[in-house]
Structure 1
Amino acid sequence: MFITFEGVDGSGKTTQAQLLKEFLENKGHSVLLTREPGGTKFAEAIRNLLLHIHDPINPMTEVYLYCAARNEHYHKIILPALKEGKIVISDRFYDSTIAYQGAGRKLGIDKMIEMNQEFILNSKPEITFFLDTPLSIIEERLNRKKMDRMEKAGIHFLADVREGYLEIMRREPKRVFSINGRLTETDINRLIIEKFLEQISL
Protein backbone atom coordinates (compact mmCIF):
# COMPACT_ATOMS: atom_id res chain seq x y z
CA MET A 1 0.00 0.00 0.00
CA PHE A 2 1.43 3.34 -1.09
CA ILE A 3 0.27 6.63 0.48
CA THR A 4 1.56 10.11 -0.27
CA PHE A 5 1.26 13.51 1.36
CA GLU A 6 1.34 16.68 -0.70
CA GLY A 7 1.04 20.40 -0.11
CA VAL A 8 2.67 23.77 -0.44
CA ASP A 9 5.76 24.31 1.71
CA GLY A 10 4.69 24.97 5.29
CA SER A 11 1.34 23.20 4.94
CA GLY A 12 2.00 20.73 7.75
CA LYS A 13 2.14 17.59 5.58
CA THR A 14 5.37 16.28 7.14
CA THR A 15 3.82 16.28 10.61
CA GLN A 16 0.68 14.56 9.35
CA ALA A 17 2.66 11.89 7.52
CA GLN A 18 4.44 11.07 10.78
CA LEU A 19 1.15 10.94 12.70
CA LEU A 20 -0.40 8.54 10.19
CA LYS A 21 2.70 6.33 10.42
CA GLU A 22 2.31 6.19 14.20
CA PHE A 23 -1.41 5.35 13.90
CA LEU A 24 -0.73 2.49 11.49
CA GLU A 25 2.14 1.11 13.55
CA ASN A 26 -0.10 1.14 16.61
CA LYS A 27 -2.48 -1.04 14.60
CA GLY A 28 0.33 -3.54 14.07
CA HIS A 29 1.36 -2.64 10.52
CA SER A 30 4.91 -2.41 9.21
CA VAL A 31 5.32 1.11 7.85
CA LEU A 32 8.08 2.87 5.94
CA LEU A 33 8.04 6.67 6.08
CA THR A 34 10.21 8.33 3.46
CA ARG A 35 10.48 11.67 1.66
CA GLU A 36 11.20 13.35 -1.65
CA PRO A 37 13.62 14.35 -2.76
CA GLY A 38 15.56 11.87 -0.67
CA GLY A 39 15.48 8.29 0.57
CA THR A 40 18.90 7.22 -0.75
CA LYS A 41 22.32 8.86 -0.32
CA PHE A 42 22.30 9.90 -3.96
CA ALA A 43 18.79 11.35 -3.77
CA GLU A 44 19.61 13.14 -0.50
CA ALA A 45 22.62 14.72 -2.21
CA ILE A 46 20.33 15.97 -4.99
CA ARG A 47 17.94 17.28 -2.32
CA ASN A 48 20.73 19.29 -0.74
CA LEU A 49 21.69 20.70 -4.13
CA LEU A 50 18.13 21.62 -5.11
CA LEU A 51 17.12 23.20 -1.82
CA HIS A 52 20.29 24.92 -0.69
CA ILE A 53 22.30 26.02 -3.72
CA HIS A 54 22.32 29.80 -4.07
CA ASP A 55 22.70 29.99 -7.85
CA PRO A 56 19.57 30.04 -10.05
CA ILE A 57 18.68 26.72 -11.69
CA ASN A 58 17.09 26.43 -15.12
CA PRO A 59 13.54 25.07 -14.63
CA MET A 60 14.10 22.04 -16.90
CA THR A 61 17.38 21.27 -15.13
CA GLU A 62 15.41 21.41 -11.89
CA VAL A 63 12.86 18.93 -13.26
CA TYR A 64 15.49 16.43 -14.37
CA LEU A 65 17.22 16.60 -11.00
CA TYR A 66 13.94 15.92 -9.17
CA CYS A 67 13.16 13.06 -11.56
CA ALA A 68 16.64 11.56 -11.12
CA ALA A 69 16.18 11.62 -7.34
CA ARG A 70 12.71 10.12 -7.75
CA ASN A 71 14.01 7.31 -9.95
CA GLU A 72 16.52 6.33 -7.25
CA HIS A 73 13.96 6.69 -4.49
CA TYR A 74 11.23 4.73 -6.21
CA HIS A 75 13.29 1.79 -7.44
CA LYS A 76 15.61 1.44 -4.44
CA ILE A 77 13.33 2.36 -1.52
CA ILE A 78 9.62 2.39 -2.37
CA LEU A 79 9.29 -0.66 -4.63
CA PRO A 80 11.33 -3.02 -2.41
CA ALA A 81 9.32 -1.98 0.65
CA LEU A 82 6.03 -2.54 -1.16
CA LYS A 83 7.20 -5.98 -2.30
CA GLU A 84 7.95 -6.81 1.34
CA GLY A 85 4.33 -6.03 2.19
CA LYS A 86 5.03 -2.78 4.02
CA ILE A 87 2.80 0.28 3.96
CA VAL A 88 4.84 3.08 2.39
CA ILE A 89 4.13 6.71 3.24
CA SER A 90 6.04 9.30 1.25
CA ASP A 91 6.27 12.98 2.12
CA ARG A 92 5.92 14.19 -1.49
CA PHE A 93 6.02 12.19 -4.72
CA TYR A 94 5.48 13.00 -8.39
CA ASP A 95 2.50 15.29 -7.73
CA SER A 96 5.00 17.77 -6.33
CA THR A 97 6.77 18.02 -9.68
CA ILE A 98 3.45 18.43 -11.47
CA ALA A 99 2.44 21.26 -9.11
CA TYR A 100 5.79 22.98 -8.54
CA GLN A 101 7.41 22.72 -11.95
CA GLY A 102 4.32 22.18 -14.10
CA ALA A 103 2.24 24.98 -12.59
CA GLY A 104 4.70 26.97 -10.48
CA ARG A 105 7.50 27.09 -13.07
CA LYS A 106 4.98 27.21 -15.95
CA LEU A 107 6.42 24.15 -17.70
CA GLY A 108 3.01 22.58 -18.22
CA ILE A 109 1.09 20.07 -16.16
CA ASP A 110 0.61 17.55 -18.99
CA LYS A 111 4.30 17.68 -19.86
CA MET A 112 5.29 16.98 -16.26
CA ILE A 113 2.84 14.08 -16.00
CA GLU A 114 4.31 12.52 -19.14
CA MET A 115 7.89 12.97 -17.94
CA ASN A 116 7.26 11.49 -14.52
CA GLN A 117 5.65 8.33 -15.85
CA GLU A 118 8.91 7.42 -17.58
CA PHE A 119 10.61 7.21 -14.20
CA ILE A 120 7.97 5.43 -12.11
CA LEU A 121 6.58 2.89 -14.58
CA ASN A 122 3.07 4.39 -14.58
CA SER A 123 2.70 3.59 -10.87
CA LYS A 124 0.48 5.70 -8.64
CA PRO A 125 -0.18 5.93 -4.90
CA GLU A 126 -3.45 4.37 -3.77
CA ILE A 127 -4.29 7.51 -1.85
CA THR A 128 -2.83 11.02 -1.69
CA PHE A 129 -3.62 13.60 0.97
CA PHE A 130 -3.31 17.22 -0.11
CA LEU A 131 -3.10 19.59 2.83
CA ASP A 132 -4.72 22.75 1.52
CA THR A 133 -3.48 25.38 3.93
CA PRO A 134 -4.35 29.09 3.37
CA LEU A 135 -1.46 31.01 1.85
CA SER A 136 -1.66 33.60 4.64
CA ILE A 137 -0.85 30.85 7.15
CA ILE A 138 1.88 29.47 4.88
CA GLU A 139 3.50 32.90 4.61
CA GLU A 140 3.43 33.40 8.37
CA ARG A 141 4.99 29.98 9.00
CA LEU A 142 7.73 30.44 6.42
CA ASN A 143 8.66 33.84 7.77
CA ARG A 144 9.39 32.22 11.14
CA LYS A 145 12.05 29.87 9.76
CA LYS A 146 15.18 29.85 7.64
CA MET A 147 13.81 29.25 4.16
CA ASP A 148 15.29 26.95 1.52
CA ARG A 149 15.57 27.83 -2.18
CA MET A 150 12.05 26.69 -3.08
CA GLU A 151 10.46 28.46 -0.12
CA LYS A 152 12.23 31.67 -1.10
CA ALA A 153 10.45 31.66 -4.48
CA GLY A 154 7.70 33.74 -2.89
CA ILE A 155 4.03 33.58 -2.06
CA HIS A 156 2.89 34.26 -5.65
CA PHE A 157 4.87 31.25 -6.83
CA LEU A 158 3.30 29.14 -4.08
CA ALA A 159 -0.14 30.39 -5.12
CA ASP A 160 0.52 28.98 -8.60
CA VAL A 161 1.73 25.73 -7.02
CA ARG A 162 -1.52 25.47 -5.07
CA GLU A 163 -3.48 25.90 -8.31
CA GLY A 164 -1.44 23.03 -9.73
CA TYR A 165 -2.50 20.81 -6.86
CA LEU A 166 -6.13 21.80 -7.32
CA GLU A 167 -5.89 20.80 -10.97
CA ILE A 168 -4.47 17.41 -10.00
CA MET A 169 -7.43 16.96 -7.65
CA ARG A 170 -9.88 17.84 -10.40
CA ARG A 171 -8.30 15.21 -12.64
CA GLU A 172 -8.02 12.48 -10.02
CA PRO A 173 -10.75 12.96 -7.40
CA LYS A 174 -10.75 9.27 -6.45
CA ARG A 175 -7.06 9.34 -5.49
CA VAL A 176 -6.33 12.84 -4.20
CA PHE A 177 -8.20 14.15 -1.17
CA SER A 178 -8.09 17.72 0.09
CA ILE A 179 -7.69 18.24 3.82
CA ASN A 180 -8.46 21.64 5.35
CA GLY A 181 -5.08 22.87 6.55
CA ARG A 182 -6.51 25.66 8.68
CA LEU A 183 -7.73 23.15 11.27
CA THR A 184 -5.77 22.12 14.36
CA GLU A 185 -3.10 19.45 14.05
CA THR A 186 -5.31 17.02 16.00
CA ASP A 187 -8.39 17.66 13.84
CA ILE A 188 -6.39 17.29 10.64
CA ASN A 189 -5.01 13.97 11.86
CA ARG A 190 -8.54 12.78 12.72
CA LEU A 191 -9.85 13.71 9.28
CA ILE A 192 -6.95 11.96 7.54
CA ILE A 193 -7.50 8.77 9.51
CA GLU A 194 -11.25 8.87 8.82
CA LYS A 195 -10.72 9.38 5.11
CA PHE A 196 -8.01 6.73 5.03
CA LEU A 197 -10.26 4.13 6.68
CA GLU A 198 -13.09 5.01 4.28
CA GLN A 199 -10.87 4.30 1.30
CA ILE A 200 -8.66 1.45 2.47
CA SER A 201 -9.70 -1.79 4.12
CA LEU A 202 -7.02 -2.87 6.63
Structure 2
Amino acid sequence: MSRRSRGIFITFEGPDGAGKSTQVELLAQALAEREPLVFREPGGTELGERIREIVLHRPESMSAEAEMHLFMAARAELLRTRIEPALAAGRIVIDDRYQDSTLAYQGGGRGAPVDWPASFPKPDLTILLVLPPDVGLDRIRSGGKGLDRLDAEPLDFHRAVAAAYDRLAAADPDRFLRVDARGAPEEIHAEVLGRVRSLLAESEVRASS
Protein backbone atom coordinates (compact mmCIF):
# COMPACT_ATOMS: atom_id res chain seq x y z
CA MET A 1 0.00 0.00 0.00
CA SER A 2 1.70 3.18 -1.15
CA ARG A 3 1.76 6.36 0.85
CA ARG A 4 0.07 8.14 -2.02
CA SER A 5 -3.03 5.90 -1.96
CA ARG A 6 -3.23 5.60 1.80
CA GLY A 7 -5.94 7.42 3.71
CA ILE A 8 -5.43 9.61 6.77
CA PHE A 9 -5.28 8.06 10.24
CA ILE A 10 -6.05 10.41 13.15
CA THR A 11 -6.12 9.32 16.79
CA PHE A 12 -7.18 11.03 20.00
CA GLU A 13 -5.43 10.34 23.30
CA GLY A 14 -5.53 11.57 26.88
CA PRO A 15 -7.20 10.81 30.19
CA ASP A 16 -10.89 10.15 30.61
CA GLY A 17 -12.62 13.42 31.37
CA ALA A 18 -10.44 15.35 28.90
CA GLY A 19 -13.24 15.60 26.33
CA LYS A 20 -11.95 13.16 23.71
CA SER A 21 -15.39 11.94 22.69
CA THR A 22 -16.60 15.52 22.24
CA GLN A 23 -13.60 16.43 20.10
CA VAL A 24 -13.92 13.25 18.03
CA GLU A 25 -17.56 14.11 17.32
CA LEU A 26 -16.78 17.74 16.47
CA LEU A 27 -14.00 16.73 14.09
CA ALA A 28 -16.19 14.12 12.39
CA GLN A 29 -18.88 16.75 11.89
CA ALA A 30 -16.39 19.23 10.45
CA LEU A 31 -15.14 16.61 7.99
CA ALA A 32 -18.60 15.22 7.19
CA GLU A 33 -18.27 15.84 3.45
CA ARG A 34 -15.27 13.48 3.42
CA GLU A 35 -17.26 10.79 5.25
CA PRO A 36 -14.68 9.87 7.90
CA LEU A 37 -14.93 6.56 9.70
CA VAL A 38 -14.99 6.90 13.50
CA PHE A 39 -14.05 4.18 15.98
CA ARG A 40 -13.47 3.88 19.72
CA GLU A 41 -11.12 1.54 21.53
CA PRO A 42 -11.57 -0.98 22.76
CA GLY A 43 -14.52 -1.56 20.47
CA GLY A 44 -15.54 -1.10 16.85
CA THR A 45 -16.02 -4.84 16.29
CA GLU A 46 -18.07 -7.51 18.02
CA LEU A 47 -14.93 -8.95 19.61
CA GLY A 48 -13.73 -5.50 20.61
CA GLU A 49 -16.99 -4.64 22.36
CA ARG A 50 -16.87 -7.90 24.32
CA ILE A 51 -13.30 -7.18 25.38
CA ARG A 52 -14.32 -3.64 26.33
CA GLU A 53 -16.86 -5.03 28.77
CA ILE A 54 -14.25 -7.32 30.33
CA VAL A 55 -11.40 -4.82 30.72
CA LEU A 56 -13.43 -1.77 31.74
CA HIS A 57 -16.54 -2.98 33.53
CA ARG A 58 -15.98 -6.44 34.99
CA PRO A 59 -15.00 -6.43 38.69
CA GLU A 60 -12.51 -9.30 38.43
CA SER A 61 -8.86 -8.43 38.86
CA MET A 62 -6.33 -9.35 36.17
CA SER A 63 -2.60 -9.10 35.71
CA ALA A 64 -1.09 -6.13 33.91
CA GLU A 65 0.05 -8.41 31.11
CA ALA A 66 -3.40 -9.96 30.68
CA GLU A 67 -5.00 -6.52 30.56
CA MET A 68 -2.42 -5.36 28.01
CA HIS A 69 -2.96 -8.35 25.72
CA LEU A 70 -6.75 -7.97 25.85
CA PHE A 71 -6.54 -4.34 24.74
CA MET A 72 -4.11 -5.24 21.96
CA ALA A 73 -6.24 -8.18 20.80
CA ALA A 74 -9.21 -5.85 20.41
CA ARG A 75 -7.00 -3.39 18.53
CA ALA A 76 -5.59 -6.02 16.18
CA GLU A 77 -9.11 -7.11 15.24
CA LEU A 78 -10.21 -3.52 14.61
CA LEU A 79 -7.11 -2.82 12.52
CA ARG A 80 -7.42 -5.89 10.32
CA THR A 81 -11.17 -5.75 9.75
CA ARG A 82 -11.99 -2.02 9.71
CA ILE A 83 -9.12 0.47 9.92
CA GLU A 84 -6.61 -0.97 7.44
CA PRO A 85 -9.22 -1.63 4.71
CA ALA A 86 -10.49 1.94 5.13
CA LEU A 87 -6.99 3.43 4.90
CA ALA A 88 -6.24 1.28 1.85
CA ALA A 89 -9.35 2.76 0.22
CA GLY A 90 -8.11 6.29 0.90
CA ARG A 91 -10.58 7.08 3.69
CA ILE A 92 -10.10 9.28 6.75
CA VAL A 93 -10.15 7.26 9.97
CA ILE A 94 -10.63 8.87 13.40
CA ASP A 95 -9.91 6.59 16.36
CA ASP A 96 -10.79 7.41 19.98
CA ARG A 97 -7.69 5.84 21.61
CA TYR A 98 -5.05 3.65 19.97
CA GLN A 99 -1.73 2.01 20.84
CA ASP A 100 -0.51 5.09 22.72
CA SER A 101 -3.22 4.38 25.30
CA THR A 102 -1.78 0.94 25.96
CA LEU A 103 1.74 2.36 26.19
CA ALA A 104 0.53 4.99 28.68
CA TYR A 105 -1.94 3.00 30.78
CA GLN A 106 -0.59 -0.54 30.79
CA GLY A 107 3.05 0.49 30.23
CA GLY A 108 3.29 3.69 32.24
CA GLY A 109 0.54 3.02 34.76
CA ARG A 110 0.87 -0.74 35.26
CA GLY A 111 4.52 -1.25 34.40
CA ALA A 112 3.73 -3.89 31.78
CA PRO A 113 6.39 -4.54 29.10
CA VAL A 114 4.57 -2.87 26.19
CA ASP A 115 6.02 -2.01 22.79
CA TRP A 116 4.63 -0.89 19.43
CA PRO A 117 4.04 -3.96 17.21
CA ALA A 118 5.54 -3.60 13.75
CA SER A 119 2.19 -4.63 12.27
CA PHE A 120 0.35 -1.68 13.89
CA PRO A 121 0.47 1.37 11.59
CA LYS A 122 1.49 4.69 13.09
CA PRO A 123 -1.16 7.43 12.95
CA ASP A 124 -0.58 10.44 10.73
CA LEU A 125 -1.67 12.66 13.61
CA THR A 126 -2.27 12.02 17.30
CA ILE A 127 -4.14 14.67 19.27
CA LEU A 128 -3.18 14.47 22.93
CA LEU A 129 -5.66 16.26 25.18
CA VAL A 130 -3.66 17.26 28.25
CA LEU A 131 -5.45 17.57 31.58
CA PRO A 132 -4.30 17.21 35.21
CA PRO A 133 -5.44 13.76 36.41
CA ASP A 134 -7.43 15.09 39.36
CA VAL A 135 -9.33 17.49 37.10
CA GLY A 136 -10.26 14.70 34.71
CA LEU A 137 -11.55 12.47 37.49
CA ASP A 138 -13.53 15.35 38.98
CA ARG A 139 -15.14 15.95 35.59
CA ILE A 140 -16.20 12.32 35.36
CA ARG A 141 -17.71 12.35 38.83
CA SER A 142 -19.49 15.68 38.38
CA GLY A 143 -20.86 14.53 35.04
CA GLY A 144 -22.62 11.63 36.69
CA LYS A 145 -20.61 9.05 34.75
CA GLY A 146 -19.51 6.11 36.86
CA LEU A 147 -15.83 5.26 37.11
CA ASP A 148 -14.66 2.24 35.12
CA ARG A 149 -11.89 -0.11 36.29
CA LEU A 150 -9.10 2.19 35.11
CA ASP A 151 -10.75 5.41 36.27
CA ALA A 152 -11.08 3.93 39.76
CA GLU A 153 -7.32 3.42 40.14
CA PRO A 154 -5.46 5.62 42.69
CA LEU A 155 -4.36 9.11 41.68
CA ASP A 156 -0.71 8.01 41.52
CA PHE A 157 -1.66 5.59 38.73
CA HIS A 158 -3.20 8.41 36.70
CA ARG A 159 -0.16 10.61 37.32
CA ALA A 160 2.06 7.84 35.97
CA VAL A 161 -0.18 7.57 32.90
CA ALA A 162 0.04 11.33 32.33
CA ALA A 163 3.83 11.21 32.63
CA ALA A 164 3.95 8.37 30.10
CA TYR A 165 1.86 10.40 27.66
CA ASP A 166 4.27 13.32 28.10
CA ARG A 167 7.21 11.07 27.23
CA LEU A 168 5.45 9.66 24.17
CA ALA A 169 4.63 13.13 22.85
CA ALA A 170 8.16 14.40 23.48
CA ALA A 171 9.63 11.43 21.62
CA ASP A 172 7.47 11.94 18.51
CA PRO A 173 6.69 15.68 18.23
CA ASP A 174 5.88 15.56 14.51
CA ARG A 175 3.03 13.12 15.12
CA PHE A 176 1.60 14.59 18.32
CA LEU A 177 -0.45 17.73 18.77
CA ARG A 178 -0.67 18.57 22.47
CA VAL A 179 -3.77 20.57 23.38
CA ASP A 180 -4.68 21.97 26.80
CA ALA A 181 -8.01 20.30 27.56
CA ARG A 182 -8.94 22.95 30.12
CA GLY A 183 -10.01 25.28 27.32
CA ALA A 184 -13.53 25.65 25.94
CA PRO A 185 -14.55 22.77 23.61
CA GLU A 186 -14.94 25.10 20.63
CA GLU A 187 -11.45 26.55 21.18
CA ILE A 188 -9.94 23.08 21.39
CA HIS A 189 -11.80 22.06 18.24
CA ALA A 190 -10.52 25.09 16.35
CA GLU A 191 -6.92 24.17 17.19
CA VAL A 192 -7.47 20.54 16.25
CA LEU A 193 -9.25 21.37 13.01
CA GLY A 194 -6.51 23.77 11.97
CA ARG A 195 -3.89 21.04 12.30
CA VAL A 196 -6.08 18.48 10.54
CA ARG A 197 -6.70 20.81 7.61
CA SER A 198 -2.95 21.33 7.26
CA LEU A 199 -2.45 17.57 7.27
CA LEU A 200 -5.10 17.08 4.59
CA ALA A 201 -3.59 19.82 2.43
CA GLU A 202 -0.15 18.21 2.70
CA SER A 203 -1.64 14.85 1.74
CA GLU A 204 -3.31 16.34 -1.33
CA VAL A 205 -0.06 17.94 -2.44
CA ARG A 206 1.74 14.60 -2.16
CA ALA A 207 -1.04 12.85 -4.07
CA SER A 208 -0.81 15.32 -6.96
CA SER A 209 2.98 15.26 -7.24
Normalising by structure 2, report the TM-score: 0.88
Kindly state the Cα deviation for residue 34 of structure 1 after the two structures are TM-superposed.
Answer: 0.4
**Match for residue 13 of structure 1?**
20
Work out whether residues 11 and 138 of structure 1, in 8 Å CA contact, stay in contact via their aligned partners in 2: yes
Kindly state the Cα deviation for residue 80 of structure 1 after the two structures are TM-superposed.
Answer: 1.2
Distance 2:159 2:195 in 1: 26
**Match for residue 107 of structure 2?**
102
User: Is there any run of 5+ residues in structure 1 with no aligned partner, and where?
Assistant: none
Question: Where in structure 1 do 4 or more consecutive aligned residues deviate above 3 Å?
Answer: none
Kindly state the Cα deviation for residue 122 of structure 1 after the two structures are TM-superposed.
Answer: 4.4
Distance 1:24 1:166 in 2: 28
Distance 1:79 1:67 in 2: 15
**Match for residue 114 of structure 2?**
112
Question: How many percent identity over aligned positions?
Answer: 35
**Match for residue 41 of structure 1?**
46
User: Is there any run of 5+ residues in structure 2 with no aligned partner, and where?
Assistant: 1-7, 205-209
Q: Secondary structure at the match of 1:177?
A: strand
Distance 2:92 2:66 in 1: 32
**Match for residue 88 of structure 1?**
93
Work out whether residues 134 and 181 of structure 1, in 8 Å CA contact, stay in contact via their aligned partners in 2: no
**Match for residue 68 of structure 1?**
73
Work out whether residues 41 and 95 of structure 2, in 8 Å CA contact, stay in contact via their aligned partners in 1: yes
Work out whether residues 16 and 137 of structure 2, in 8 Å CA contact, stay in contact via their aligned partners in 1: no
Distance 1:94 1:180 in 2: 21
Aligned residue pair count: 193
Kindly state the Cα deviation for residue 135 of structure 1 after the two structures are TM-superposed.
Answer: 2.4
**Match for residue 163 of structure 1?**
163
Matching of residue 152 in structure 1 with residue 159 in structure 2: no
Distance 1:149 1:42 in 2: 19
Distance 1:105 1:160 in 2: 9
CA distance 1:78–1:122, change in 2 (3 Å): closer
CA deviation vs aligned residue, 1:155-189 (integer Å, no higher than 9, x gap):
22111101111000111000011001010011000
Q: Secondary structure at the match of 1:56?
A: coil
Work out whether residues 137 and 151 of structure 2, in 8 Å CA contact, stay in contact via their aligned partners in 1: no
CA deviation vs aligned residue, 1:44-103 (integer Å, no higher than 9, x gap):
100011001101111000011111111101100101111222100000000000000110
Work out whether residues 42 and 69 of structure 1, in 8 Å CA contact, stay in contact via their aligned partners in 2: yes
Work out whether residues 11 and 96 of structure 2, in 8 Å CA contact, stay in contact via their aligned partners in 1: yes
Distance 1:196 1:164 in 2: 24
